[in-house]
Amino acid sequence: MGTVEVDAFEFCRRKEARSGEADVASMARLATETLDSSGKLQWAVQGGADGRGHPLMQLQVQGDVKLHCQRCLAPMDFHIDSQVDVIIAADDASADVLDEQLLDEPVEVIVGSTAFDLLLLVEDEALLALPPAPRHEVCGAPAKPVDAPEKKESPFAVLGKLKR
């Protein structure tokens, strides 16, 4: 997978923006979760700050991937359409503190760096957008009829027959 490295803190401070397209095949972790590695993801990242002044990246990821339906095991198309705000922390300790402070807010907190790979962030978000058990709304395979349960003879009826 190629890289798109930025200084995460400067990227946010300067309110920079980047966007692009990435092949699913170039994202090893995502490719292993999909049926095949075809498909492309479009992504966009906008730097800035949240209302409290914390460095913030607004991430958008869109694209189509192929997954296995867990119900019928046939291939299925899945559209990823994810938007997330990501607060950038200086280190793990700061990330833990920010995570506690922002517990009720719809943001993620991650540790940034001066060599921050935006494509890893895109791949992480695409992975988080995948359903844990992908299923078609309606599977194409006809439903198998449920057989009526076999009536078993009661053990007491068997004892009753022995008594005669």
What integer pLDDT is reported at residue 143 of this predicted model? 47
CB atoms within 10 A of CB 116: 21
- 82, 88, 92, 94 alpha-carbon torsion, rounded to 10°: -130
* Gap between the Cα atoms of 136 and 77, Å rounded: 9
| pTM listed for this prediction | 0.78
pLDDT tens-place string over residues 105-128? 888 999 999 999 999 999 999 999
Q: Which residues, given as ranges, of the chain have pLDDT below 70?
A: 1, 141-164
* Gap between the Cα atoms of 43 and 122, Å rounded: 7
pLDDT tens-place string over residues 16-33? 999 999 999 999 999 999
Taking Cα atoms as reference points, which of 22, 37, 29, 36 lies closest to residue 68? Answer: 36
What integer pLDDT is reported at residue 137 of this predicted model? 86
